[in-house]
């Protein structure tokens, strides 16, 4: 495997969907679970583009719903790899909603996900480093090790007992 740093642009992925009635709850806004599915899907695509290997979801955290997405709006998800650590990759996702008639666009959700690069046998394999290309990407890159440590700590706390109960 080539372990040279790969630019963020290699992993950048965009997904656009129209919000239909089956995507919404009784408030006429998009189901959070449907959006979470989209976030997982676009994150996986981004991670595979970066690593050039299959990937598996390790975690999703910092999923922040900022404003509702309404029936008939377009939802656009943008994802890219911000940082890697051995086999794991952190992916940042920003979700925007757009009213196609007024042209109004707004950020509705942001999320961080972690994916693991795996080989043909499903075993973790090295993920290439990432090379930020602008100041915003550098900020995410520079702050990623702290988020990584927070995830490790949270995971250790949650699974410190043998039965998986939080203590």
Which tens digits make up the pLDDT trace of 57-81? 999 987 889 999 999 999 999 999 9
Torsion sign across C-alpha atoms 78, 36, 109, 148: negative
CA-based nearest residue to 147, from 94, 85, 54: 85
Task: Tell me how far apart the alpha carbons of residues 102 and 3 are, in angstroms, rounded to a whole number.
Answer: 46
Q: What is the mean pLDDT of the chain?
A: 93
Q: Which domains, from first to last, does the chain contain?
A: 6-158 (3.10.129.10)
CA dist list (Å): 1 to 53, 64, 73, 78: 10, 35, 42, 27
The percent of residues in the chain predicted with pLDDT above 70, rounded, is: 93
* pTM of this structure: 0.91
Q: Rounded to a whole number, what is the distance in angstroms from the first to the last CA of the chain? A: 41
Query: pLDDT digits over 32-60, tens only?
Result: 999 999 999 999 999 999 999 999 999 99
The pLDDT value given to residue 138? 98
Per-residue pLDDT band for 163 (boundaries 50, 70, 90) equals low
């Amino acid at each position: 495997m080539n372990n040279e740093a790969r630019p963020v642009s290699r992993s950048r992925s965009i997904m656009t969907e129209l919000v239909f009635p089956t995507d919404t709850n009784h408030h006429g806004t998009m189901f959070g679970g449907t959006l979470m599915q989209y976030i997982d899907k676009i994150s996986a695509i981004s991670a595979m583009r970066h690593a050039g290997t299959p990937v598996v979801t390790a975690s999703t955290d910092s999923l922040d719903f900022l404003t509702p997405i309404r029936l008939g709006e377009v939802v656009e998800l943008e994802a890219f790899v911000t940082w890697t650590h051995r086999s794991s990759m952190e992916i940042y996702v920003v979700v925007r909603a757009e009213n196609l008639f007024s042209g109004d666009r707004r950020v509705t959700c942001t999320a961080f996900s972690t994916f693991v690069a795996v080989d043909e046998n499903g075993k973790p394999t090295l993920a290439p480093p990432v090379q930020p290309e602008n100041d915003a990407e550098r900020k995410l890159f520079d702050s990623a090790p702290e988020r990584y440590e927070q995830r490790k700590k949270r995971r250790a706390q949650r699974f410190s007992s043998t039965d998986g109960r939080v203590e």
